[in-house]
């Protein structure tokens, strides 16, 4: 196949991640920036992960479901893959991704909760890359399948405070040594924003800007390949508010290296579902526990005992510190859950929570015959790996009681799958 010659085809379906399936010249391609029903011309590009991909050249005939993108750089930016699709169709398509991924595990009795049309709540965790324009530097996102930095003036999916922070950073480029950075990560929680400058060398002349983002305190950090170090001292502690019992919230301390869900309201919905599915539990196990985002609210709401495990030592330390500060009956240990581990302390839970990274939890699911929890709650950011892990659970005697699609990243090709399994 000559990569220099354009091909033509008609997009058939939108797949998880936001690329469309296009058949042409006897080959199936994945092509971005097009929708089911679009007739397109495209150029083949190098295979990635064994899959043929194409780069859109032109839309010959538009899909009837195509609308004008709200963001002027949507087609160049690598973030929001579904802006050109009618918003009313997003929830249905994303729900179908979850149903398809778990199709081999679903039974007639499985309760299905589809995604609903998501509000544009605002992302609170971003990584900008540093680009150059003339003699100035700017912050933007990487383009789709490229290392090109795409400039944007207002990201419609970010919180107002993070949009303001980007302006502050660009206006203070010299003071914060922005030109020496590869990227900047920002993490906004309830009472402040962690701003992490990522570069090989610690900046020698860093000066924190005197103004802050929407009157929200900022804590400045430097990160290299080995560690994250405060740029301003004393380092401020910031907190996330997580739902617990009734109207009560848990104030969980979050550091610059701690993982939090990138959208606050969606995270609260996820926690609420986990609490509801865990009712009646006295012993809860949380594997891939992070800083205890899901299990600290469970023990706060239900007074259950929690034992968690996580590979990242800093996250384990943070989870234990939060449990102690809040007076909760929760303990977290370090364990590599991608390899065989001692299951005895975790066996016999009333509820086992699984919130693995994109690669899934194949090793843990394969050990359920020894862990033997009464219920399993699984949260998957990658529906394909979640579906594969679900088949393994089913083979070990668990049945899919409830399946939920949760859209917490509007306009993107991302969907969360939440599933409840029983014996």
Q: Cis omega (within 30 of 0) on the bond before 234?
A: yes
Q: What φ, ψ does residue 13 adopt, rounded to 5°?
A: -155, 150
Instruction: Round to whole Å and give the CA distance between 221 and 256.
Output: 8
Give residue for tokens 């996102």: 141
Active site residue 177: no
390 with 418: CB under 8 angstroms? no
Q: For the beta carbon of residue 119, count every other beta carbon within 10 angstroms.
A: 10
Q: What does DSSP assign to residue 117? A: P
Reference 420, options 303, 245, 299, 278; nearest CA is 278
List phi, psi (to 5°) of 277.
Answer: -70, -20
Sequential DSSP letters for 134-183: TTEEEEEEEBTTS-PEEE-S--TTB-HHHHHHHHHHHHTTTTTTGGG-SE
| 125-133, strands of its sheet edge to edge | 149-151, 136-142, 125-133, 183-189, 192-198, 218-223, 228-230
CA atoms of 191 and 200, how far apart (whole Å): 29
Q: What 3-state class would DSSP assign to 240?
A: strand
Catalytic residue among 71, 80, 155, 381: 381
Which residues fall within 8 angstroms of residue 364, CB to CB, at 6 or more apart? Answer: 287, 337, 354, 356, 371
Task: Please give the Cα distance from 301 to 346 (Å, whole number).
Answer: 21
The upper half-sphere exposure of residue 230, i.e. CA atoms within 13 Å in the direction of its Cβ, equals: 9
Backbone angles phi, psi at 419, to 5 degrees: -140, 145
Q: How far apart (Å, rounded) are the C-alpha atoms in residues 389 and 50?
A: 22
| CA distances for 218 relative to 162, 168, 179, 225, 234, angstroms | 11, 11, 20, 23, 12
Residues with a catalytic annotation lie at 381
């Amino acid at each position: 196949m000559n990569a220099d010659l354009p091909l033509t085809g008609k997009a058939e379906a939108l797949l998880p991640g936001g690329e469309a399936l296009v058949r042409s010249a006897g080959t199936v391609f994945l092509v971005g920036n097009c929708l089911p029903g679009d007739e397109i011309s495209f150029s083949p590009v190098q295979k990635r992960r064994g899959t043929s991909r194409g780069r859109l050249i032109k839309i010959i005939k538009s899909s009837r479901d195509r609308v004008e993108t709200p963001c002027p750089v949507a087609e160049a930016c690598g973030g929001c893959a579904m802006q050109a699709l009618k918003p009313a169709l997003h929830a249905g398509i994303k729900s179908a991704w979850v149903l398809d991924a778990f199709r081999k595990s679903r039974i007639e009795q499985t309760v299905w909760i589809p995604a609903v049309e998501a509000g544009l709540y605002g992302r609170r965790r971003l990584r900008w890359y540093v680009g150059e324009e003339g003699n100035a530097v700017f912050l933007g996102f990487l383009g789709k399948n490229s290392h090109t930095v795409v400039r944007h003036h207002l990201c419609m999916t970010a919180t107002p405070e993070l949009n303001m922070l980007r302006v502050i950073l660009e206006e203070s480029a010299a003071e914060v040594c922005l030109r020496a950075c590869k990227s900047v990560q920002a993490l906004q929680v309830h009472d402040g924003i962690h701003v992490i400058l990522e570069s090989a060398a610690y900046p020698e002349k860093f000066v924190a800007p005197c103004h802050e983002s929407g009157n929200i305190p900022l804590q400045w950090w430097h990160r290299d390949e080995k560690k994250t170090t405060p740029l301003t001292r004393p380092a401020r502690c910031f907190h996330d508010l997580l739902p617990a019992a009734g109207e009560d919230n848990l104030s969980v301390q979050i550091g610059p290296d701690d993982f939090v869900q990138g959208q606050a309201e969606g995270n609260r919905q996820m926690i609420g579902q986990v609490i509801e599915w865990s009712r009646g539990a006295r012993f809860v196990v949380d594997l891939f526990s992070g800083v205890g985002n899901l299990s600290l609210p469970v023990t706060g709401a239900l007074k259950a005992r929690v034992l968690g495990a996580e590979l990242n030592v800093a996250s384990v330390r943070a989870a234990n510190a939060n449990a102690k500060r809040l007076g909760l009956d929760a303990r977290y240990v370090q364990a590599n859950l991608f390899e065989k581990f001692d299951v005895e302390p975790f066996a016999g839970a009333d509820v086992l929570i699984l919130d693995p990274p994109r690669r899934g939890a194949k090793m843990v699911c394969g050990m359920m015959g020894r862990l033997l929890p009464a219920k399993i709650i699984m949260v998957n950011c990658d529906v394909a790996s979640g579906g594969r892990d679900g088949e393994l659970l089913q083979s070990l005697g668990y049945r899919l009681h409830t399946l939920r699609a949760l859209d917490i990243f509007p306009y993107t090709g991302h969907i969360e799958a939440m599933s409840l399994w029983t014996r």
